[in-house]
Structure 1
Amino acid sequence: MSTTQSERLRELLEPLVSSQGLDLEEIAVDSVGRKRVLRVVVDSDTGADLDRIADVSRALSAKLDETDAMGSAEYTLEVGTPGAERLLTEHRHYVRATGRLVRFQLAEGGELTARILGADDEGLDLEVPGVKGRKATARRLAFDDITRARVQVEFNRKDDASDKNNDKKEEEA
């Protein structure tokens, strides 16, 4: 896809996505056989449920139908969210990932896996898990020191809400 088409699609669709209270994260046009697929990724600070995705999908479809942004060839529109193991590329992504475990590729080389405790304009406050029974440690990481960051899926993490409920049950006992 040419940069011009990508820019044109972003200029066309971003105001519409924003009017729905969402951020336009990504646009990609892929060829699948003879058909093309336009993938639009949206998100917000509070997430995007299926109803919001359906609403924005209908609005984008209508807008694309009234323009020639995709040309005359047939295409499929797919609207979704970034997914569980999303790449973090914008400041807002780091803010939204607060509390999540993230794998960082570091500019100095190597990698670090840590939980984001907070984000400001300069960087991140992290909790680095302890190894072999050691306590977790705090670390500050500047954005300039990060070359790549991806959220990690955690299957066995205790939910903060369940921890609070368990604490409350213990107090009552």
Structure 2
Amino acid sequence: MTQRDRGGARAANRRSAGRGRDAVAETRTPAAPRIDLAAAGSRVRAVIEPVIAGAGFDLEDVSLSRAGRRHVVRVLVDADGGIGLDDVAAVSREISQALDAAEEAGGEVLAGEYQLEVGSPGVDRPLTQPRHWRRNVSRLVTVTVAGKSLTGRVKATDETGITLDVDGRTSEVPYADLGPGRVQIEFKRLDEAVFPDEEEPEDEPDDEDEDEDDDENGEGEER
């Protein structure tokens, strides 16, 4: 998470408290500069997408919002095999450096202070790109095909589409015919769960057997 402060000092207003001579100083937090968020998002994407691709990840989404006196820049990245916390931290630093370099070079990417948040998409994100389907092979999904909602399992993907198994029947569906897909959360049934076998306790030697062994070894004799 990165914060940049270019907003300057906070403005302070003064007002009289009743008719007394004392004045109460009131500090207000200035709002973030009014900018076109869509246009700013496009500028941010143009700067950071090559950086993210160079790091071996895919840029999934960029969104901007206002929060008090700063803008919040949320970036979602992903990769085949997923992305870990160390990866998120590393690419976050590279994104921050790229935005700083772009503005130092004279390009106004964002006005004022901003906060950068980088993360990976959750399972609730819609599947809209071929790479999304590829990364969810073997998952149960709900998708609209030719105006009909289907729930099935993604068996395979290729350059043209997916293989979808619906109730044991498989069909090849081109990407062009797929609506946005949604991954369905599956909970393993209790009767299908595999538990380790209970280990039988080992037989403990009887005291009489130990005494006999001691007598044979001569360790049980009195001295």
TM-score normalised by length of structure 1: 0.78
What code does the residue aligned with 2:62 have?
Answer: I
8 Å Cα contact 1:85-1:153 kept in structure 2: no
Shift of residue 3 of structure 1? 5.0
Q: Distance in 2 between matches of 1:97 and 1:48?
A: 14
| Structure 1, 45-54 or 144-153: larger mean CA deviation | 144-153
Which protein is richer in helix relative to its size? Answer: 1
Shift of 1:118: 0.8
Which residue identity does 1:116 align to in structure 2? Answer: V
Separation (CA, whole Å) in 2 of partners of 1:157 and 1:55 = 39
Asked if 1 retains the 8 angstrom alpha-carbon contact of 2:37 and 2:64, the reply is: no
Amino acid at match of 1:31: R
Structure 1: segments with no counterpart, 5+ residues? 131-135, 167-173
Given candidates 90, 109, 113, the residue that maps to 2:147 is: 109
Alignment of 1:10-89 (within 5 A): 10-68=45-103, 69-89=108-128
Matched, 1:118 2:147: no
Identity rate, percent: 38
Q: Which runs of 5+ in 2 are unaligned?
A: 1-35, 197-223
Alpha-carbon displacement from aligned partner over 1:25-65 (angstroms, at most 9, x marks no partner) = 11111223443211111011121000000000111112222
Aligned residues: 154
Q: CA deviation at 1:5?
A: 3.1
* 3-state secondary structure, aligned to 1:29: strand
Are 1:87 and 1:149, in contact at CA under 8 Å, matched by a contact in 2? yes
Contact 1:17 1:23 in 2 (8 A): yes
Do the aligned partners of residues 21 and 32 (structure 1) sit closer, same or farther apart at CA in structure 2, a change above 3 Å counting? Answer: same
Greater C-alpha Rg: 2
**Aligned-residue CA RMSD (Å):** 2.4
Query: In 1, Cα distance between the equivalents of 2:101 and 2:189?
Result: 47
